[in-house]
DNA sequence: CAAAATTCTTGACCTATATCAAGCAAAGCC
DNA sequence: GGCTTTGCTTGATATAGGTCAAGAATTTTG
């Protein structure tokens, strides 16, 4: 479980012994490609750290599927509001590949706050960072064209483009697969091939 | 400062004595119409509770102003990432009317975590709720038409429509003032006037 | 490895929304 | 109370991006 410990250490900046306490509450889990971590309407009972593989968070709407986000290695996954506030999940969370996780249930999660006094504060900072990322995403949706959103996302997450069906990326950027495909076909500004004689 | 106390009590569910401790760290402040609570590039040093009046959070982009949100009475206001992580502010926060606030500076804010043991946890829950609201907003931007977004926002915040310039609402919904105006002109489904003989 | 299922691309066409421009209405100000 | 500023509406026109449909390319599966 070194990867989880390492992540928490770099991200949360926490003591060695606290770190082991935290990690010991997580248990390994596997979810096969196509299976669900969470289905819409259920009550999310777990929080997980993705060790390997990819998940898609999405919801059906008007006969389409709106992809909200794609999460991979070294990300936490859960439906925050369902997990914390005990509400029915708004999203489906499905494995896009065979995946391995470290998972904690609610009961153990409660213990975290008792065992590690700084836990709530660290978690607060973590969620605040996520909040800020969503704010930026909203700003992009409000102010950028489809092509600019593509560029911005490609710059930030280039590795995703050969790991998941592109239609999902199109959806989370707020465009159709066709528009996505046409943007990709265009010669990109950063493409230097045309300068080679 | 009863309004702040009442808000914290209902929202955070906190003990009477803790409540007073918390409230005592905030000091009253006024910001006149048109003045700024925060300007882009500055380091946000305060967190405030809006007692009265309205603020607009926005950023310039390509010669336009993108309104990110409008906040009023009983909302907290700050730039979370700037305040917590000490980064330059991405947004401007401007008073749309004469406003009164209860404000806490960083130093006193640090004390909150010490004085009220549950503070970090409560704050975590609060930010988690904000996170969830942003998620919903993204879903709306990804899945709804301009008119549907208008309806959804109008249902949620009808009182805003006669308190702030409508162009700001248009902007935060991701449409131009012209489109906004045209949507408003259309007979609304919920408009029953046509049934009166 | 072939068949089936997905995913991606491409073209033709369409429509929601943007842009530009002008006039009108309301609000703030000496 | 007129003048100025700011905000809203409306029309004409343009365009980014959507839709539909078909085919090509992958990937998955028995």
Contact B134 A131 (CB under 8 A): yes
**Residue in the structure block whose two tokens are 């991200």:** A11
- Using 50, 70 and 90 to split pLDDT, how confident is the model at A54? very high
pLDDT, chain B, mean: 90
pTM: predicted TM-score of the whole model, two decimal places: 0.91
Which residues of the protein are close to the nucleic strand D, CB under 7 angstroms? A 145-147, 174-176, 178-179; B 165-167, 177-178, 180-182, 184-185
Is the pLDDT score of B197 beyond 50?
Answer: no
Segments of chain A assigned E as strands: 27-31, 36-38, 46-52, 55-61, 64-71, 76-77, 92-95, 99-105
Supply φ then ψ for residue B31, to 5 degrees: -130, 125
For position B62, what pLDDT does the model report? 87
CA distance B196 to chain A (A): 33
Contacts of A61 in chain B (CB under 8 A): 139, 143
User: Per the CB < 8 Å rule, is B68 touching A142?
Assistant: yes
Cα dihedral value B113, B118, B122, B123, nearest 10 = 10
d(CA B53, CA B99): 4
d(CA A104, CA A20): 14
Angle between helices A2-12 and A119-143 (to 10 degrees): 80
Please give the Cα distance from B184 to A55 (Å, whole number). 40
Dihedral angle sign, alpha carbons of residues A190, A191, A193, A195: negative
Encoding tokens for residue A129? 């960072």
Q: Touching check for B129 and chain A: CB below 8 Å?
A: yes
Out of A84, A125, A143, the one facing B128 most closely (by C-beta) is A84
Query: Hey, is the C-beta of B62 within 8 angstroms of any chain A C-beta?
Result: yes
Q: Do B128 and A127 touch (CB under 8 A)?
A: yes
Q: Using the beta-carbon criterion (under 8 Å), do B85 and A135 form an inter-chain contact?
A: no
Eight-class DSSP state of B148: H
What does the block give as tokens for A92? 């489906």
A43/B125 Cα distance (integer angstroms): 17
Residue A106's contacts (CB-CB under 8 Å, 6 or more residues apart) are: A45, A46, A83
Q: What is the pLDDT of residue B1?
A: 66
Between helix A106-115 and helix A119-143 the angle, nearest 10°, is 120
- B10-65 pLDDT per residue, tens: 777 777 777 888 888 999 999 999 999 999 999 999 999 999 999 999 999 988 99
CA separation for the pair A146, A50 (Å, rounded): 30
- Give the pLDDT band of residue B111 (cuts 50, 70, 90): very high
Percent of chain A residues past pLDDT 70, beyond the cut = 94
- Which residue's entry shows tokens 């709804």? B144
For residue B142, the chain A residue with the least C-alpha distance is A174
Give the CA A165 to C1' C6 distance in Å: 10
**CB neighbourhood size of B40 (10 A):** 16
Q: What is the pLDDT of residue A124?
A: 95
Q: Which pLDDT value is given to residue A133?
A: 97
Q: CA B40, CA A7: separation in Å to the nearest integer?
A: 32
| Nucleotide nearest to B164 in CA–C1' terms | D7
Q: How far apart are CA B125 and CA B105, in angstroms?
A: 21
Q: Are A186 and A160 in contact (CB under 8 A)?
A: no
- Interface probe for A, chosen from B82, B134, B144 (most Cβ of A below 10 Å), is B134
How far is C-alpha A93 from the chain's CA centre?
10
Count Cα atoms within 13 angstroms, Cβ side, for B99.
Answer: 28
Between the CA of residue A45 and those of A10, A49, A56, what are the distances in Å? 26, 14, 18
Distance CA(A119)–CA(A127), nearest Å, equals 12
CA distance linking residue A160 with residue A177, whole number of Å: 16
């Amino acid at each position: 479980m070194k990867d989880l410990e390492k992540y928490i250490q770099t991200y949360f900046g926490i003591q060695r012994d606290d770190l082991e306490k935290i990690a010991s509450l997580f248990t390994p889990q596997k979810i096969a490609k196509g299976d669900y971590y969470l289905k819409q309407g259920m009550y999310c009972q777990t929080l997980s750290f993705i060790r390997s593989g990819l998940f898609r968070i999405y919801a059906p709407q008007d006969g389409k599927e709106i992809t909200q986000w794609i999460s991979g290695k070294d990300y936490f996954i859960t439906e925050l509001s369902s997990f914390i506030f005990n509400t029915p999940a708004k999203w489906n969370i499905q494995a896009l590949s065979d995946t391995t996780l470290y998972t904690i249930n609610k009961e153990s999660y409660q213990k975290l706050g008792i065992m590690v006094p700084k836990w709530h504060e660290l978690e607060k900072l973590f969620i605040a960072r996520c909040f800020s990322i969503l704010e930026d995403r909203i700003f992009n949706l409000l102010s950028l064209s489809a092509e600019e959103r593509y560029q911005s996302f490609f710059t930030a997450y280039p590795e995703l483009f050969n790991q998941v069906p592109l239609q999902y990326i199109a959806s989370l950027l707020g465009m159709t697969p066709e528009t996505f495909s046409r943007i990709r076909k265009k010669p990109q500004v950063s493409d230097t091939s045309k300068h080679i004689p």
